[in-house]
Amino acid sequence: MKAVGLVQILNIGSLNLDNVYRVSSFAKPGETVSAKNFSISFGGKGLNQSVALAKAGAKVKHLGVIGYDGNDLKVALEEAQVDVSLIRKVDIANGNAVIQVDDAGQNCIIVNAGSNDCLTEEQIDAGLRQMQVGDMVLLQNETNKLAYALERAKQYGLKVVLNPSPINEALLAVDLQTVDLFVLNEIEAEFLTSMSNVKPEILLNSLHEKYPQSDFLLTLGERGSVYFSNGKILEQHPYEVKAVDTTAAGDTFTGYFLASIANEKDVKTAMNIASAAAAIAVSKHGAQSSIPTLNKVEKFISEFENDKLLDD
C-alpha cells in the first residue's frame, strides 16, 4: 500500500532477533520448564513499530544498527515498505530477546542490546537532516544515544514521540522536557510519577504536572486507552478478542496511532484504529508477523460496527 500522509516519521529504534518459547506457565526462580515449541522471529520495539507504521500507511524511515547476523531484519523492513537507508551494520552480534509466551497469551521478555547499543551521533544527525520541520521522530528506550536524539530532534523542529519502554532508572537521568507525546502504559506512567495503584486520571494529571509541554497516550490493556491533552481526556474502549500472544500489541497500537495522526486523522479516530489493530495482533502468534495490514484493520472495524448494529 502506498503511503499518502503529509508527515514523515523517523523511527530511531531497536532491531532484535526474538527467541520465542511457548510454555504452559512462566519459569519460576530455580525451576526448569519444557517449552511446547520454539521459534526465531523478528522483533524489537523499533522494528515492530516501523512495520506497524508502514502497514498503517505511514511514510517511515528506520534508523538503527544490525549485527553480523541481522541481515534478515533489514530485509523484513524492506518487505514492509520501510525505508532502510539509515540502517548501519556492525561486526558484533545483533540485539536479541528471549521471550516466554504462556497459555493465556501473556509474555515475559529478556532483552540483550547487542548492536542496538552502537548508534552514533553522526548517524542520528544524518537521519534527522533528511526530515522536514513538522515531521515526527519516534523513540523508545532500547537503543543508546536517547538523550542526544531527543535534544537534536527538537533542534530540527520535529515532533518528538517517546515510548519510554523498557522503563528504567537510567531514563530518569534523561531530559524528557522536549517530548511532545508520550505513548506509555500504566507501569511506565507509575514509574515516571513515583505513584502506584491510582486511577488513570490521577496518573495523567501527575504526568502533566511533571511534563507540562507534553500530551499523553496511556494504554490500559483490557481497559482500553486514554489520551490527555491540555486537561482534556479522550477514552477508547478495547475490542474484545481472544488473546493468544500479546508480544507486539503495544507496538502495533503505537504504530497505527501515529500513522493515523500522520495521515491527518483526529485523535479519537486514531485511537479507534489503533485499538482495532492491537486486537487483531493479540489474536495471532508472533511479534512482527502478527501486525495486520490496514485493509484487515478497516475490515475488522466495519464488521464490528455491522455486528453492533444488528445487536441493537
Say whether 39 counts as a known binding-site residue.
no
Say whether 286 counts as a known binding-site residue.
yes
Nearest to 186 by CA among 208, 215, 214, 164: 164
Say whether 246 counts as a known binding-site residue.
no
Say whether 254 counts as a known binding-site residue.
no
Say whether 162 counts as a known binding-site residue.
no
Say whether 290 counts as a known binding-site residue.
yes
Say whether 46 counts as a known binding-site residue.
yes
Say whether 142 counts as a known binding-site residue.
yes
Torsion over CA: 38, 40, 45, 51 (sign): negative
Nearest to 294 by CA among 32, 44, 58: 58
Say whether 251 counts as a known binding-site residue.
yes
Say whether 295 counts as a known binding-site residue.
no
Cα separation, 170 vs 99, in Å, equals: 23
What residues contact 291, with CB distance under 8 A and at least 6 apart? 48, 51, 52, 55, 248, 251, 252, 255, 277, 281
| Cis check: omega of the bond before 166, within 30 degrees of 0 | yes
Say whether 247 counts as a known binding-site residue.
yes
Cα separation, 166 vs 168, in Å, equals: 6
Say whether 221 counts as a known binding-site residue.
yes
Say whether 47 counts as a known binding-site residue.
yes
**Residue 293 has which C-alpha cell?**
495490514
Say whether 120 counts as a known binding-site residue.
no
What is the three-state SS of 75-140?
HHHHHCCCEEEEEEECCCCCEEEEEEECCCCCEEEEEECHHHHCCCHHHHHHHHCCCCCCCEEEEC
Say whether 312 counts as a known binding-site residue.
no
Could you give the residue numbers annotated as active site?
Answer: 251
State which H helix or E strand residue 63 sits in.
strand 59-66
Task: Identify the DSSP state of 29.
Answer: T
Cα separation, 304 vs 31, in Å, equals: 43
Which ranges of 194-266 would DSSP assign to H, the alpha helix? 200-210, 249-262
Say whether 72 counts as a known binding-site residue.
no
Binding residue ranges for K(+): 245, 247, 281, 284, 286, 290
Binding residue ranges: 16-18, 44-48, 142, 185, 219-224, 245, 247, 250-251, 281, 284, 286, 290
Binding residue ranges for substrate: 16-18, 44-48, 142, 251
